[in-house]
Structure 1
Amino acid sequence: MSLTSPIRHPDTRQPELMSRRGWWLVGLNVLLPGSAQILAGNRRLGRFALGATLILWATMALAAVLFFLNRGFALSLITNVWVLWLLQAALLFYAVLWLSTTLNALVLVRLVKTPGRTRAGLLAFTAVTLAVSVGGTSYAAYLTGVGRDTLGSVFAGGGYVAPIDGRYTVLLLGGDAGPDRLGLRPDSITLASIDADSGAVTMIGIPRNLYNAPFPADSPLASEWPNGYDCGDDCLISYIYPWAEERPELYPEAELAGSTPGIEATRDAVEGVTGLEVQFVVLIDLGGFQSLIDAMGGVVVDAEPMQLGINGGPVVGEIVAGEQRMDGGTALWYARNRYNLTDFDRMAHQRQIQEAMLRQFDPLTVFTRFEAIAEASTQTVRTDLPQSMIGVLADLAVKSRELPITDVELVPPTVDNVNPDYGMVREMVAAAVAPPSDE
């Protein structure tokens, strides 16, 4: 009698043999789907399932090696819409495969011939393995679809974009369209300059009450405002957005490019102020900012003490000093509160929240809270950043978490926001983003 005979042709009159055989078949099926069929069932099905399992292991090993050797390329690959379609199909295929091989292995066990206690244990073990393998894989397929849809709805099309002078520039706008305002106005304006090699980030904070913003010569606003945005108190840099929204003829291609006249006008103003070309814009609706923070599980901030309220109104709460985890509502209050505070104080608090999010938006947070973050991002974020650039910038974001963030605040006393010296401002910015010397 061959060694495999007790597995393929067992003596069903021996309870101990049937018990051991049952556990072997079910256990092997968990470790190597298809092995139970090769030993005791349909060998053709077993070879197919085992081959598919080995292909999966090889693919996972290759992906791990690729991620280790070239993380940026691996992240670009996994955020490609066609790769995500393929991944979702593969996950569903393996869910069906593992379901069929597990149930078939249970049939091969011949439960009615096993002792009662063994039978109950095998059924319970199989239920758990099905929940973990098939349930987990099916849920992963669902999340893959959510991720693909989110990337498609939030990010723009287009190919690879090369850095300019070794850096990427991303304009971060916090949009505020409250009930007391006519249209949206950027409440927070920050230009992030990112070193394309090291991931080092320089955050350039631009006060929303900056006067006389100049425009590049090729901007349609340069002819409208040849001396800069210079109509006094009605011409703060944050007012450019609604002003341009009412004049869409200035940027006729904006909507087709997935942008708006207000975004493009603000981009031009920031380029004129800083002397840097803005490659990408990310507009975050502050109305949905709270849900994004909550989706992340909150942010840890070393807070300054403050009373909460509206100037001229009653105090409605307070934030105590010290490190604390803020939920979305508290973080929004901290970033926007102006009770007995200046706009420049608010800028500093907004920068704290931005940097806290950058530090804490790590792969583990994204993985464990992916669905909530995806839903909040879809409702909150608008950007012209191409989907093909997600991997590149995500890799740089991981690198940046190990480096200090350089802050350049264009605020008094260094910069007079009412009568700014834009030549000096551009020199400050150029010095801050200049590559480090070799000395």
Structure 2
Amino acid sequence: MSVQIVLIAAILTVFTAFSTQLLSLAVQPGWMTGLALILAAVAIAWTAVIIWSYMLVRPAASGMPGRALAAGLAVSLCALVLAPTAYAARMAYVSRDLVHHLFAGNMGPVVADDPWSGTQRVNFLLIGADSAPNRPGVRTDSMTVASVDTATGATTLLGLPRNLEEVPMPAGPARARFPYGFTGDGLDSHGLLNEVFQYAENHPEVVPGVPDGQRGPALLKETVGGVLGIPVRYYAMVDMKGFAEMIDAVGGVRITVEEPIVYGKYREGLLPAGTRRLSGEEALWYGRSRTDSDDYVRMGRQKCLINAVARQADPVTLLNSFDGLATATKRAISTDVPQDLLPALVELAQKVRDNPIKSLNFVPPLINTAYPDWRFIRHKVNEALSPVPRTPAPAAQAARPTASPEGPVTLDKTCG
């Protein structure tokens, strides 16, 4: 009984005080394999103790009712031991399978003291991909760079519209083919930014030496990084339909809808204004609907949705919905984040969640998507990411973040 009390206390402590560290272990296959084996051994040993105890203390001559009651109690105790350990072992297996399926191979030893190699900021390209039967290939209709301060977790989302034209290409074969900016292949193509991904997949010669499925992300990372003037280190791409499954797996997302949003191919749905919990399908349409609005309004909602998901995806929620979330993630997400970086990424994600998330969208009137000023874009990015000394503001003003006509970095108020 003393051992059992200590075990229960230890489990409760781990799940409450060390939930972030627990998630860090959940993304390490070696730990997951070891945990599954330990849990199996504990379950077998504990069950053996229960059965042995029953054999020692069972009533010798209490008749059938007494024996049935004692046997039923022993079976119930075995079930109480086996059920949670079996569930935990299953979760360990699912985690191990997800990490091996989704994340790239090891990138070499990561220095525990500084897994980011002294980098002040790490930049992730977040891609929302949409494919349809009447549309060949994949269109990256949502492109956002999350620039994260590795020390504090302070994050700025830099949004690029899908319809940027004549985007400068990175040095090498891509720039040699498009020296004056990307113009597409001329076949049902408008030469927009959201076509770069599929163009690279269809034309191996512009990204030599890179295998199928990786050429698109590789070229898009370099292209977006060149536009913003920052190195884009990793990417994560989510399929729109899979995104809805992921939202459902965590029980929906609570968000403020500032104005009614019509959604559905035939305008069959309406998201009324107000704060509510959206299902996966509703969240998907919240982020993609352009009815009675445009691409730029949609981009603002997408940043708001990313903000809301980041804040509400706490460790306990993720653990409770881990099985369903892992299944949806395997179908919906592709990324080049290496396995060895995952524990550090989990810790960084917790810091992100504890900080306000700012955003800067390069949309009209800030820029002209047909004739963008690339130097101006890079200047605004540098301005947004540079540390700015803060002075105490009057309380009345501090509660009202504002935006100038030039489009500085603003807080996403609708995600609160």
Bin for the TM-score computed over the shorter chain: 0.7 to 0.9
Report deviation, 1:246: 1.0
1:344 aligns with 2:296: yes
Find 1:391's aligned residue among 343, 349, 374: 343
Tell me the secondary structure at the aligned position of residue 315 of structure 1.
coil
Query: 1:429 is matched with which residue?
Result: 381
User: How many matched pairs?
Assistant: 381
Name the structure with the higher helix share: 1
Show the counterpart of 1:83.
31
Structure 1 position 381, deviation (Å): 0.6
**In 1, are the aligned partners of 2:40 and 2:89 still within 8 Å (CA)?**
yes
Instruction: Give the TM-score, by structure 1 length.
Output: 0.79
In the TM superposition, what whole-angstrom CA distance separates every residue of 1:222-276 from its partner, at most 9, and x where no partner exists?
22222222469711100111211110232243328xx521111211210111111
How far off its partner does 1:75 sit? 5.0
Residue of structure 1 equivalent to 2:277: 325
SS for the counterpart of 2:60 is: helix
Q: Is the 8 Å Cα contact of residues 242 and 332 (structure 2) preserved in structure 1?
A: yes
Residue 53 (structure 2) aligned to one of 80, 102, 105: 105
Farther-moved stretch of structure 1 (201-210 vs 151-160): 151-160
Q: For each residue in 1:389-437, what CA deviation from the matched residue of structure 2 results, as whole angstroms up to 9, or x when unmatched?
A: 1111111111222211010111111122111111111111112122344
Q: Check whether the contact 1:154–1:381 (CA below 8 A) recurs between aligned residues.
A: yes
Q: What are the Cα deviations for residues 59-106 of structure 1, in whole angstroms up to 9, with x where unaligned?
A: 9799789959xx66x754442211211111111111111111111111
- After superposition, the Cα gap between the structure-2 partners of 1:62 and 1:404, relative to the gap in structure 1 and judged at 3 Å, is closer
Q: CA deviation at 1:359?
A: 1.2
The normalised TM-score by structure 2 is 0.83
User: What do the CA deviations read for 1:352-371 (whole angstroms, capped 9, x no partner)?
Assistant: 22111111111111111111
1:295 aligns with 2:243: no
CA contact (8 A) 1:199 1:399 kept: yes
Q: Secondary structure at the match of 1:417?
A: coil
**Map of 1:26-425 to 2, 5 A cutoff?**
28=1, 31-32=2-3, 67=18, 75-112=23-60, 122-159=70-107, 160=110, 162=116, 165-217=119-171, 219-230=172-183, 234-255=190-211, 259-303=213-257, 304-310=259-265, 314-425=266-377
Identity of aligned pairs, percent? 33
Moved more, 230-239 or 361-370: 230-239
Give 5+ residue unaligned stretches, structure 2: 392-416
Name 1:43's counterpart in structure 2: none
- Looking at structure 2, the residues matched to 362 and 118 of structure 1 have their Cα atoms a distance apart, in angstroms, of 48
Which residue identity lines up with residue 32 of structure 1 in the other structure?
V
SS in 2 for 1:112: coil
Q: Which amino acid aligns with 1:214?
A: P
* Counterpart contact for 1:309–1:339, Cα < 8 Å: no
Partners of 1:221 and 1:227 lie apart in 2 by: 11
What SS class does the counterpart of residue 287 from structure 1 fall into? helix
Tell me how large the CA RMSD over aligned residues is: 2.9
Is the contact between residue 215 and residue 271 of structure 1 (CA under 8 Å) also seen in structure 2? no
- 1:135-165 per-position Cα deviation (integer Å, ceiling 9, x unaligned): 1111111110011001110111123362564
Structure 1 111/197 Cα, relative in aligned 2: closer, same or farther at 3 Å?
farther
Q: Hey, what does 1:23 align to over in structure 2?
A: none
Q: Which residue of 1 aligns with 2:409?
A: none
